[in-house]
Structure formats: structure tokens, C-alpha cells
A and B are shown apart, each in its own frame.
Chain A
Amino acid sequence: MTQTGSGLLQPAPADQFGPVIPGPPIVRRPLALKVPVAFAGLTLLAVVAFVFGSDAGLTTRFSLASETDFFQLPDFAVPTRPAATVLAIIMAGLTLLAFQSAAQRHKLGLWLPSVFGLAWILSFMVWVIAGKTSTWTIPALLAASLSLSIPLVFGAMTGLVCERVGVINVAIEGELLAGAFLGAVAASAAGSAYVGLIAAPLAGMLVGALLAVFAVRYWVDHIIVGVVLNVLVTGLTSYLFSTVLKSNAGLNRATQLPKLPIPILGDIPVIGPVLFRQSLLVYLMYALVVGLQVMLFRSRWGLRMRACGEHPEAADTVGIQVNRTRIRNTILGGAIAGLGGAFFTIEMGLAFNKEMSAGKGFIALAAMILGRWNPKGAVAAALLFGFAGELAQMMGTMNTPIPSNILLMIPYLLTILAVAGLVGRVRAPAAEGTFYRS
């Protein structure tokens, strides 16, 4: 029997005895109308609410630069209703395309939903800001979105490091909180935010080590350990906050990592200030994401850890110590989330406060799933969540037609939709959450 590059079976007898029965059978895939129908609904909503819901004659003003920028781009204004109409036409076109490709049983690419989403959000913003005297500064919006997504990115990276090696980590929330706590305390005690940046990952590692010991060594259900650890860290930090930190104010001061603008890159219009006038923590995040993307799929470390998460028996039979690999990477994951926890205190310039991680660890987990256990996907998802959160916050401060409490629900609704798998079938590492007896 021979084997072709495409991996299809071509038994050798075929050469001698003529064609084999062709396979696999060609059967039409069932019509997948979920996405096109969702597009149609959203387009209709945009037409009703944003085109006809806006008063004629209003204009929408955006601004592309703040006063401190090197390049001063002018503000620009568009008439609201025509702009919303143009966007609605674009959306309608995309909807038709989606229906067409569904009818032809083609798979939807990534670009179609992306462009559609962008158009919808733009038209939403055009409608919301219509007629407001205060302009919206786009770079400021993007910068704040990036900022909100920092803990999500770190958390999602933790999640995927742990799950790729086979350990389900729902203790990301606790690891973030522990990092925030120790980061703030160490920075205050040493009087330097950078010391906090060193201490924060240590706190996360400690939580990660507990998770690893119980989940890998003692075979406790991963999710149960994770939940218990979250409760433990919340309780411990709250207790220390209201006792030790209350009586020693010097241990919990607001310290902030300085911004380190990168010359030239930081002067690029619009994205320069957003991406390259940041603190060391954010630059570390960039390095982490790029590094993980490469190492996970192309290094020995990545190959071995993924083998442990996909097929631990196979890893064991080629001499890889499955449980040791799992423990090490779970602790590494803890360090990443701990570092991310520094965001809440020393990146934001705030003193530690009770439960200040506010559920970000769980959203990070959702970002990881939405990103299909892939660093670049997880970052995209984290940025999306960050953007939705920032949009909701900004509109809450303006007098918008939608109650701000509803807007604040947007990131969580997105999360539910993402986790429910509306975005397509996702495939977790095959052996995640399992125990290995070596």
C-alpha cells in the first residue's frame, strides 16, 4: 500500500486491478445558516436603530490625535445618517456574501465576520456619538482598550500554557489577584515599582504550584482545585488587606510603572501612542505573546508539552516525564498570570484593594477558548473583550441612548456567545483535565 502526500488511502492493489471504489463518499454538507442569519439580524438592527434611529442633520465627530502627538492629524466629521446608511449597505452586501457561501457550502473565512463586526461597531459608534459636542479621540479609545485587555492577555496565555500541557486552570483569577497583591506590597516596601514587577510573578507561581501539586500529584479534579484556590486567594488577600495593610499604610501605597516611550515607533500616527508609549509590563506582554506563539509550535519545549496535553501515554513511551512536565508548566503559567496581576496595582498606579481582579481571570479563560488555545487568537479575543469593555465604559459617561448598565454587560454577553461555541467548533487539547499514572 502506498501513501500520498494528501494522506489519502491508495491501496497498491489498485495499480494492478484498476480503480478502487472512490472515497470518501461525496455527500453535501448540511446547510450552515447560523452566521448568515445572525448577520441579517444585526444588519436589520443597524438599519432600524442607527439609520432611522438617528436624527437627520446631525454630524459625528472623531479625532485621531491628542495634543501631545508628534503628527497632528485633523479631526474629521461625517453626517450621521448618510454614514450609517453607507455602513448598512456594506453590511447588507456582506450578509448576501455570507448567504451565498453558505448555499455553496463554502467555509466562511475569518475576514468576513471581522469586516462585518468592524462595520457594525463603526455604525454603532457613529450613531452613539452623533451630535455630541465632545469629540471622541480614537487613539485614546484604543489605548484604553489595550490597557483593559492586559490582564486578559496574560491570563489567556496562562490558560493556554496550562491546558496545552493537560491541566485545566480556572485559578487564573486567583493568580492575577495574588500577583496584584504581592506586586503592590513589594513595590511599596521597596519604593520601586520594578521590585513589584519581580514579586508579582512569584505570587502567581505559588498559586500555580498549589494547583500543580493537587491536580497532578494528588489527582484532585482540576476544576475543583482551581475554584478552591480562587476562594483561598480572595480570602487571604482580603484578610491581609484589612489587617496588615490597614495598620501599615506604607506597605500599600500607589506606585506606578513609568511609561517608556520608544522613539520613532511611538511617533507613528494613531497606533504609535497606543502601542509604543507603554510601560515595561506591556512590552513584556508583547514579547511573551510572540515568544509563546513561536515556542509552542516550533520548539522542543512546546512539542513535548503539547504531547503531554494530547496523548500522555505517547509522551511517556518516548521517555518524557509527563507529570514533571505538567507541574513545571503549570507553575510557569502561574508566573505569567502573577505578572499580569501587576496590571491592577503598579501598572494602573493604584494601591491594592479587595477583589480588584474582578472576574478578569474568567474572561481570560474565555478569550483563550475563543482564540482556540492559540496565542495569537487569544490575544485577538482579549483585545476584542478589552475594546467592548472600554466602549461600554466610555458610553456610560456620555449621555447615550442605551443605559450604561446594559453596555457594561456587553463583554460578558460576548463571552457567553464565545464559549457557547457560536464562533465555530473548537478543539481543546485531547487530554486536558486528565490524570496520568506513570
Chain B
Amino acid sequence: MNMSKYSIFSLAKQALNFHEGWGKVWRNPEPKKHYDVIIIGGGGHGLATAYYLAKNHGVTNVAVLEKGYIGGGNTGRNTTIVRSNYLWDESAHLYEKSMKLWENLSQDLNFNVMFSQRGVYNLGHSLQDMRDIQRRVNANRLNGIDGEIVDADELKRRIPILNTSRHSRYPVLGASFQPRGGTARHDAVAWGFARGADSLGVDIIQQCEVSGFIRENDRIAGVETNRGNIGAGKVGIVVAGNSSVLADLAGFRLPVTSHPLQALVSEPIKPVLNTVVMSNAVHGYISQSDKGDLVVGAGIDSYNGYGQRGSYTVIENALAAIKELFPVFSRVRMNRQWGGIVDTTPDACPIIGESPVKGVYINCGWGTGGFKATPGSGYVFAHTLAKDQPHELNQAFSLQRFSTGRLIDEHGAAGVAH
């Protein structure tokens, strides 16, 4: 397909045609009989994996199989927050790699992902919260990640609508601030990676659900789908909430449980919040989209669920927290509410690497915070698939860590908010 490069000139040219001449952005091919690599899951992570496989490793005989439509799962359901202020070295390096890719992603993909480095505040509500924040910010800075500690008075100056009263139920004592954090347009991330991968020769096959794995001599040989059997040299499973389902089909177990995670957007209002505010302690996080909607995220529902919806009490709690932090929003009406299925692990860290089945690789367990990692996750997983060994950034995130005991306890930085 002859795909045009987006530029000010192509925009001007199409404007003269009343924007009726824009072509399709990726092909819609029939599956081939065999691929070198099959990626199961056409979300941001899967598409990014395919893109970096083709771009960085020259592996272009690749298919991305998506049971629905691309970006229709968690990629289109998250609250679009991007940050890299994780406590432990392993995760800090992984998320910071992702942050560096974000900073150049629109140029790299020639697709505007609307990455906006408006900063991210993580609030502290108790003295222990503030000590944890100091520790995390110090750890971040030692890892070369930007961060600062902001006290309540300074917070009030920067975010005038934030309630910093000493009399609120959970008073705001301060916050950590990552200036390079922010938000990105979630759909555009899927579309940009899809367009980029497609232009390098990757087949993106939608409405193609994997129902089984084909093995030959203890090695993977392909997958069974609703569009026939497709042969594969290697298979990468990147299916977030459905990871355990695919692992069951492949014949191995995961330490993953799938939970609903809910979010909401309000009616659009005038610009009032120019940054991202998160609070682990009261379970809420909020930003304002470019359209003017307030984007609010809740914590996960406690129970296992695949239903892409959760219980009302959870969003009620999140909105109560938001109202306490921002009394000015008390009369804003919520427009839409939805749930995504997140794959949580015991240590709140992802699993990226080989599986017990030869030729099958898994990238899962991103839990509540996978969106921010989209480019980095694809980058290291592509390396793992191409070289048959992990990149140094995802070495520590193997499935084996659950038997060696070398867990990476990121609950403090990742457990609830993201």
C-alpha cells in the first residue's frame, strides 16, 4: 500500500481536497500460512512489539492476531497516564526506557500520539506517605529520573483548586512530582504503532481469535484460530487480562489474577487542571483531557473478573476521594464509565520473557499500569523474541522469579494508581 507521510505539506494538500483524499492507514490482509513470529493480542503492547521487531531487528514476516479490533481492550480503556517514577532499580530502568521512547514517539512513528508532559503529582496524606515519597524521589534521582518533593503550600500555589485544608479527612501533606510525566492519546498510540508496523510489512489481522496451539516435537509450530490454522516459528502472547486463558491453552500456569479496573470521564468543562494528580492512599487519580473531560480512575475491584465492568462501590469511593481533593468538581456530571480487565501479579510487576513451552514467549502482568510502558514493553519484548533471550532491561522480569523468590515489590509505586 502506498502510505503517505504525514506532514504540513500533506495536510495542506489534503485540505485543498476537503480532506477526502486521506487513504487507509493500514492494510487488512488475509492471514498467510506461516509467519516467523505471531503476536497474539493487538493492543498497544502487541503492536509495539511488532513494530520494534520489524524496525530494530529486521523481522518483518510477522502477524499480529487480534480477536476484536486493535486498541479495543485496555489500550482504549486506561486513563492515559505516563510516568516512570518507580522505586526499584529494575522497574525504574524499564519504565524510564519507555519514557525516553515516549519523548520521541510522535516523530519516530510519524503519527501524533499527543504526548503531553504536563507533570504527574503523587499525593502524600500522612507522615509515612511523605517518608515513602522522599525515599522514592531519592531513588528516582539516583537512577537519573526527574523528581521533586513538593510541600502542601507549594502544591496549593501550583494547583489552586486542590483542597489542602488541614481539616479534610485525609489531609494533603505534600506530593512527589515528576515533571516529565504526563498523558498521551491512548487510541493514537495503537493506531500509530499499527500504521508503523504495517508499513514495515507486518500483517495486522483483526477478528482473529486464537483457540489453541499447535506443537511439533515439544516446540510450538503454530496457532489454531477462527480463521484457520496459522504456522509460526515463535509466538508472543500479549493479551493482558486474558493471559491466563492463553497460558491454559498453551499448557502452563501463571501467577496472574484478572480483575476489573474502572474509569470514568466527565462532561467537558473549561480548562481547570493542567497536570495529573494521583493519590494511592485515597484511591483516585485525575487529569483533564484536551477535550476538557475530567478523566478519573479508580482502584481495581477485589474479585476476579473478565466482564469488563465492576462494582458501583469502587467508583463511588474513587469519586468521593476526588471530591474531597477537588471540592470544585462536586457538581460535575460524569458522562461515561467503563471497565478494563487488568492482569495483576503478586509483586505488581510484569512478566516478560520465555514461557515453559519452547517457542512461546509471554508479556503480561502489567496490572493497573501498562499504558505508560507501551513503547518500552514492545521494545524489550521484540528483543526477547528476536534474540531468544531477554534484553538486559527485562531480564529480572522473568516468570522464573516466582520460583527463585527474586520478586520486585513495586506495590508502593504501582499497586493502586498508575
Q: Do A and B bind each other?
A: no
